[in-house]
Structure 1
Amino acid sequence: MTPGAERTDESAIRIGALVPLTRPGWVEAGRHLLAGFGLAVRDVNESGGIGGKPLELVVRDTAADSQRAAAAVDELDRLGVAALAGEYHSVVARAAAARADALGLPFLCSSAVLDALTGQPTDWVARLAPAQSHGWRIYADFLLGAGHSRIAVAAQPSVYWASGTRILRDHLVPRGGTVIELDMGALAPEAVNDALVDNRATALLLLVGHPEPVASIVKSVRRDPRLAGLLIGAPAGQPEFAEWAALLGEDGAGIPFLRYRPERLGPLGARVETTLRERLAAAPSFVAFEGYDTIAVLADALRSSGADRARIAGSWPRIAVDGTRGPIRFTRTPGIGVWQWAWPPVQVVDRDPADPDRLRLLRAG
């Protein structure tokens, strides 16, 4: 279904879907998330729907805009959706979660990792993606294990990037690491190189927007002979997407990133991967699997609770779903104010410079 289009089947159970489908949102991530949603809805409906009623998505484009997302939640609430699914961008998801909590509308967050997804504990929101602190600590351990103790962070002003920087510093410094902050609100990409040399950094982490300034920074660093041995990292996961390879070519290989899937998929995951690959005409990212698992969880909640919003929200702790990436259960996790799958599988991987289509597993957690 195209964003904004509505069906008139009054018997359908509706789920509101929040996805970035236009710039400045990450459109490719939005496409993968929506592909996962769509395939799972098809599977649910082909197996009889929810008590004989079809499941239907009502899609809204957030375009990485928090105010637009909050307005979409209000609209979807008025349309009578049973629950919300999505979003990819953490800051946008936080705005959606706050509005859903205020309205009493169940929201299963698919991809956003910001620890403080809500300002206060709530029973209305659950999350599939791991908290940023969990995944990024695994990434920090990978850096230390690879021998990197002087780590530069090129960051733009953002709640998400600031949170990532803090997590890295809090984990690395007590273990002998040094975190050097490069303010990309003040530095031009070409000035990054001199700062890396002056600070004797052995690794540079890109906590910046895509496609710019990330592409300019990578190209500049790759072409500087003084930085030939420097590790470039992108913990937020940008290199998994085909757009990264198309933008950077060989320069984009050998850059470790986080993704949330196991090394080997089970039968369900393998089947879903094959179908998603056909739908996307590309290898499905972990975001596509998050989309499928989101609908699988909501379908389970709807089967046990009907379309009653309060009963859906009350079902989070009782859900037991075999997802594409393993068994999904929700718990209360210290420091996390929402019901959390603790934890999805976490990998640190990179694209093999000798074969950029092949991903190399560097660490699992």
Structure 2
Amino acid sequence: MKKSVVLLSSLVVSAVFSVAQAQETVRIGAITTLTGRLAEFGAQQKAGFELAVDELNAKGGIGGKKIELVLEDAASDVNKALAAAEKLANSGVGIILNEYSSSIVKPVAQFLSRQKVPNIVVSSSDESITKPGFDYVYRINPPTDEYAKILFEVFKDKKIRSVAILAGSGAFEKSVLNSAMEQSKTLNIPVVASQTYDKGLTDFRPILNGFKAKNPDAVMLVGYQEDSVAVMRQAKEVGLNPKVFAGGAAGFALPDFIKGAGSASEYVVTATAWVPEMGSKQKALYDKLSRKLGMAPTYHAAQAYAAVLVAADAIKRAGSSTDREAIRKALDSTNLQTAYAPVKFQNYEGYKNQNKVGMVAEQVQNVGGQLVFVSVYPRKLFLKNRMLFPTPAWDKRN
């Protein structure tokens, strides 16, 4: 009997302590991929989340309460992501930051909307996530329309007359492909060939040889890191030699693309959502994220950083970290300047709760004997960075 009383007392004390601890912190839920094939993106997001939390806590948190990031691993798997979302929703957090991969984010966003949990999409770009959208889903990053727009603006500027497109069959890749097809019609730049491929394909040479026969001015590629490296290496093998290779962000915007593809990456132009050359605030954030990551940060880290600031701002204005309806209403009136971009959720052109923000383009260039990303477009922002695919001949890419 005494043992039972002692055990019960311990459980009561533990429960009281847990409740008190929860009351002393403001909890923000987050889901990202820390393991599996998309872990590189998750590492970037985690760094952005944590840096923002650390900075806010150093300034006193929210209303004097420290922010606690409750982070769950989606493990590159939609079912695990849904389990993580259910766990966070049941834990009582008032808002959740939602993942990277479009194939994972959309079902998670739909689930959280049914549970009436506000969630911020951090880096996923599939158009259908916010078009037509859901009442409880807010996206800070641009949809795939913007990925295609920036690349086709480059094509128009450089007088590209035909394009071939290779894209993966995932939700993000197909959405970029659809957006590219629309831009093709709008700007009258014909798509002479388009091909999708399933995850796991390793030999792209038959497709690339088919593109070579079409002799397009540009080849646009949309895929993740492993695919981006394989495609460019094999394009070099088969001698596919357009005026420009253009990547639809994702794997083409990562440091490991250059590392893996080596000389085959030189002159590739890619869409991206954030670069340090945009301004002093962006450069300062870039430097802080670089120190935290131990390598160059990508736009995914900057978007994650901004998402925490947006969530904290909404919680502060809502006057509660657990009242989900109050937080949702606060998100509706968000108007925040961040070192990623301004954030204001709008309904426009069929989008719902979408931050209206564009993209820029960068190019892999040889600077001082080292291949690096250099911001090149729009020209009005990056006038000093003149190179934009001079000659693409493979015999000049040693």
Q: Same fold (TM over 0.5)?
A: yes
The 1:103–1:118 alpha-carbon spacing in structure 2 relative to 1, beyond 3 Å, is farther
Does 2:330 align with 1:315? yes
Does 2:344 align with 1:329? yes
Does 2:262 align with 1:249? yes
Structure whose residues are more often helix by fraction: 2
Does the aligned pair in 2 maintain the 1:153–1:205 contact within 8 Å?
Answer: yes
**Corresponding residue of 1:224:** 238
Task: Give 1:16's aligned amino acid.
Answer: G
Task: Give 1:60's aligned amino acid.
Answer: E
> Which stretch has the larger CA shift, 168-177 or 100-109?
168-177
1:302 Cα deviation after fit: 0.9
**Corresponding residue of 2:315:** 302
**Corresponding residue of 1:148:** 160
SS of 2:267 mapped into structure 1: coil
The 1:113–1:296 alpha-carbon spacing in structure 2 relative to 1, beyond 3 Å, is same
Alignment of 1:186-205 (within 5 A): 188-205=203-220
**Corresponding residue of 1:38:** 50
**Corresponding residue of 2:181:** 169
Distance, in Å, in 2 between the alignment partners of 1:268 and 1:231 is 32
How big is each residue's C-alpha offset from its partner over 1:241-268, in whole Å with a ceiling of 9 and x where there is no partner? Answer: 2221221112122211111126634454
Does the aligned pair in 1 maintain the 2:132–2:350 contact within 8 Å?
Answer: no
Instruction: Work out the number of aligned pairs and report it.
Output: 354
Q: Which runs of 5+ in 1 are unaligned?
A: 1-6
Task: Give 2:97's aligned amino acid.
Answer: A
Does 2:21 align with 1:15? no
Does the aligned pair in 2 maintain the 1:329–1:341 contact within 8 Å?
Answer: yes
**Corresponding residue of 1:3:** none
SS of 2:129 mapped into structure 1: coil
**What TM-score, normalized by structure 1, do the two folds share?**
0.90
**Corresponding residue of 2:8:** none
**Corresponding residue of 1:235:** 248
Distance, in Å, in 2 between the alignment partners of 1:244 and 1:123 is 37
Does 2:125 align with 1:110? no
SS of 2:127 mapped into structure 1: coil
Distance, in Å, in 2 between the alignment partners of 1:274 and 1:210 is 23
Task: Give 1:327's aligned amino acid.
Answer: P
Alignment of 1:128-147 (within 5 A): 128-147=140-159
**Corresponding residue of 2:67:** 55
Task: Give 1:98's aligned amino acid.
Answer: Q
Does the aligned pair in 2 maintain the 1:258–1:348 contact within 8 Å?
Answer: yes
**Corresponding residue of 1:97:** 109
Does the aligned pair in 2 maintain the 1:352–1:360 contact within 8 Å?
Answer: no
SS of 2:292 mapped into structure 1: helix
Does the aligned pair in 1 maintain the 2:110–2:134 contact within 8 Å?
Answer: no
Task: Give 1:80's aligned amino acid.
Answer: G
1:230 Cα deviation after fit: 4.3
Task: Give 2:173's aligned amino acid.
Answer: W
Distance, in Å, in 2 between the alignment partners of 1:85 and 1:193 is 38
1:174 Cα deviation after fit: 4.3
The 1:183–1:48 alpha-carbon spacing in structure 2 relative to 1, beyond 3 Å, is closer
1:121 Cα deviation after fit: 3.9
Does 2:188 align with 1:181? no
How big is each residue's C-alpha offset from its partner over 1:205-232, in whole Å with a ceiling of 9 and x where there is no partner? Answer: 22234303x322211112334x334422
Distance, in Å, in 2 between the alignment partners of 1:38 and 1:176 is 44
SS of 1:211 mapped into structure 2: helix
Distance, in Å, in 2 between the alignment partners of 1:84 and 1:106 is 7
Alignment of 1:65-80 (within 5 A): 65-80=77-92
Does the aligned pair in 2 maintain the 1:67–1:95 contact within 8 Å?
Answer: no
1:283 Cα deviation after fit: 1.7
Task: Give 2:112's aligned amino acid.
Answer: A
Task: Give 2:252's aligned amino acid.
Answer: P
**Corresponding residue of 1:159:** 171
Does 2:306 align with 1:293? yes
The 1:192–1:62 alpha-carbon spacing in structure 2 relative to 1, beyond 3 Å, is same
**What TM-score, normalized by structure 2, do the two folds share?**
0.83
How big is each residue's C-alpha offset from its partner over 1:258-287, in whole Å with a ceiling of 9 and x where there is no partner? Answer: 111266344543332222111111121111
1:128 Cα deviation after fit: 0.6
Distance, in Å, in 2 between the alignment partners of 1:202 and 1:267 is 36
Does the aligned pair in 1 maintain the 2:345–2:356 contact within 8 Å?
Answer: yes
The 1:108–1:188 alpha-carbon spacing in structure 2 relative to 1, beyond 3 Å, is same
The 1:119–1:140 alpha-carbon spacing in structure 2 relative to 1, beyond 3 Å, is closer
Does the aligned pair in 2 maintain the 1:265–1:324 contact within 8 Å?
Answer: no
Distance, in Å, in 2 between the alignment partners of 1:291 and 1:133 is 21
Distance, in Å, in 2 between the alignment partners of 1:161 and 1:349 is 19
Among 182, 189, 211, the residue aligned to 2:226: 211
The 1:71–1:279 alpha-carbon spacing in structure 2 relative to 1, beyond 3 Å, is same
Larger radius of gyration: 2
Task: Give 2:256's aligned amino acid.
Answer: E
Task: Give 1:78's aligned amino acid.
Answer: N
SS of 1:349 mapped into structure 2: strand
